[in-house]
Amino acid sequence: MFDIQKIRADFPILTEKVNGKPLVYLDNAATSQKPQVVIDSIVNYYTKYNANIHRGVHTLSQIATNAFEESRTKLQKHFNAKKNYEIIFTSGTTHSINMIATGFSAILNADDEVLVSTMEHHSNIVPWQMLCERTGAKLKVIPMNNEGELLLDEYKKLLSSKTKVVFVNHVSNALGTINPIKKIITEAHKYGAAVLIDGAQSSPHIKPDVQDLDVDFYVASAHKLCGPTGIGILYGKEEWLQKLPPYQGGGEMIKQVTFEKTTYADLPHKFEAGTPNISGGIAFGVAIDYLNSIGFDNIAAYENELLQYATKKLLQIEGLKIYGTSKQKTAVISFNIGNIHPYDIGAIIDKLGIAVRTGHHCAQPIMNFYNIPGTVRASFAFYNTFEEIDLLYEALLKAKMMLE
Ligand code: 7TS
């Protein structure tokens, strides 16, 4: 059912050598690799039907427009949005969050509060801090425990009628924790607060149902889902997208422009000023089709086997400590070995062909919580193998021997 060799054959990069060694790519939380069908779709667009969209009477423009809009509908179905115009194409998660945080400037005032969690990526912290600076609203933080789990009782205590937006990731990029977002959303809605879920790390592993979650905003990046960089989505409930002002002014986002007054286009175009990443939007749909052909349940089950195997194996290394030990986790292992600096480990195992990320992972508050400068992070995808985990283990033993 899950033919790993067949899957690996879909990814041309996996046969590359790095530093003379076969590539062992364990930096999937930073970005995923791309299957040939996604690469082909980009080449095909530029080779056969490159044209601007939504504006041409000519045939190529219509073909490109149809392909781009078909992709929007694929994404609507995948995330189970009620309407296809609730899917806004953006350049990625960071762009999507900035759109919403900026939009809330028009709604918040100095009496309001917004809630963030301790375990956010900087892109789900800084835009909201900027919002607070503009409006005077107050930022409050949901704490977490040592395992890297949010304290839901504390969260409930922080909620009040002053809370206007809660923004939490579904999965932490630095710890792998899967947060109980349905509960978080239900509690926030008791106070009428909107919830934005950062799905950058969960969307490659878990297929969300935005209607079932009743989430107000859900954001993700294509490049973590086997798609290209420079494209992502913002799902927003229609009522919210109607209420928020546009993020950028420009072409394609207007109904009528005079020097006295401009009226805005209907959704989704109100939020899509300018020429979008057309090939990227189309390729995002191809990537989603590809992942669905493998099946998200199959992906999650296989990756969980990888996680269990890797956790057990790495813990055999003396002095290795894992950060993020929640029972609900995706296949991410963040760790340190003794007092060795994570960068040194990363640099040595890179020479052996193994790609991991080291540092604070754009989540400094997590590092501050554990009082460490950073970690080594191995993040797995459905095209990784148990043999690659063995290679990581051997490489870590070598690095430890050299550095201790
Ligand atoms: N939110 C989370 C939870 C993320 O993990 C990332 C990227 C972002 C937002 C930003 O996504 P972007 O596509 O707009 O850049 N995370 C990582 C990472 O963990 N390593 O490199 C990028």
Q: Which CATH class is domain 49-292?
A: alpha beta
The helix (run of H) or strand (run of E) holding residue 198 is: strand 194-198
Same CATH topology for 4-27+295-403 and 49-292: the answer is no
Q: What is the pLDDT of residue 242?
A: 98
Instruction: Say how many Å lie between the CA of residue 49 and the centre of ligand 1.
Output: 31
* C-alpha span between 102 and 260 (Å, rounded): 24
Q: What is the pLDDT of residue 161?
A: 98
What is the DSSP pairing of strand 262-264 with strand 254-257? antiparallel
Q: Where are the domains of the chain?
A: 4-27+295-403, 49-292
Q: What is the pLDDT of residue 278?
A: 98
Top pLDDT among 56 and 363 is at 363
Which of the listed residues 362, 376, 377, 380 should we mutate to test ligand 1's pocket, taking the one with most ligand atoms within 8 A of CB? 362
Tokens for 180, please give them: 């109980």
Residue 362 designated active-site: yes
* C-alpha span between 308 and 116 (Å, rounded): 30
2 falls in which pLDDT band (50, 70, 90)? confident
Backbone φ and ψ for 368, nearest 5 degrees, come out as: -65, -40
Instruction: Measure Cα distances from 331 to 216, 308, 388, 389 in Å.
Output: 27, 8, 14, 12
**Chain centroid to CA 286:** 18
56 falls in which pLDDT band (50, 70, 90)? confident
Residues 6 or more apart whose CB falls under 8 angstroms from that of 1 comprise 298
CATH topology of domain 4-27+295-403: Aspartate Aminotransferase, domain 1 (3.90.1150)
* C-alpha span between 30 and 277 (Å, rounded): 20
Top pLDDT among 55 and 149 is at 149
Q: In DSSP terms, which residues pair with 354 in a beta bridge? A: 24
Helix (H, G, I), strand (E, B) or coil at 363: coil
Helix (H, G, I), strand (E, B) or coil at 221: strand
55 has a pLDDT exceeding 90: no
Q: Average of pLDDT values for 389-393?
A: 98
Which of 114, 299, 314, 362 is catalytic? The answer is: 362
Tokens for 382, please give them: 């459905």
Instruction: Measure Cα distances from 131 to 33, 44, 171, 241 in Å.
Output: 34, 41, 23, 18
Q: Indicate the Cα dihedral angle 182, 186, 192, 198, nearest 10°.
A: -10
Q: Which residues line ligand 1 (CB under 6 A)?
A: 29-30, 92-94, 121, 123-124, 169, 173, 198, 200-201, 221, 357, 361-362
Averaged pLDDT score across all residues of the chain:
97
Cis peptide before 276 (omega within 30 of 0): no
Q: In DSSP terms, which residues pair with 234 in a beta bridge? A: 88, 219
Please state whether 194 falls in left (phi above 0), alpha (psi between -120 and 50) or beta.
Answer: beta
pLDDT tens digits along 97-151: 999 999 999 999 999 999 999 999 999 999 999 999 999 999 999 999 999 999 9
**Chain centroid to CA 59:** 35
Ligand 1, atom 5, lies closest to the CA of 173
Q: What is the pLDDT of residue 177?
A: 98
The number of beta carbons lying within 10 Å of the beta carbon of residue 39 is 16
Which of the listed residues 91, 121, 218, 223 should we mutate to test ligand 1's pocket, taking the one with most ligand atoms within 8 A of CB? 121
* C-alpha span between 182 and 257 (Å, rounded): 42
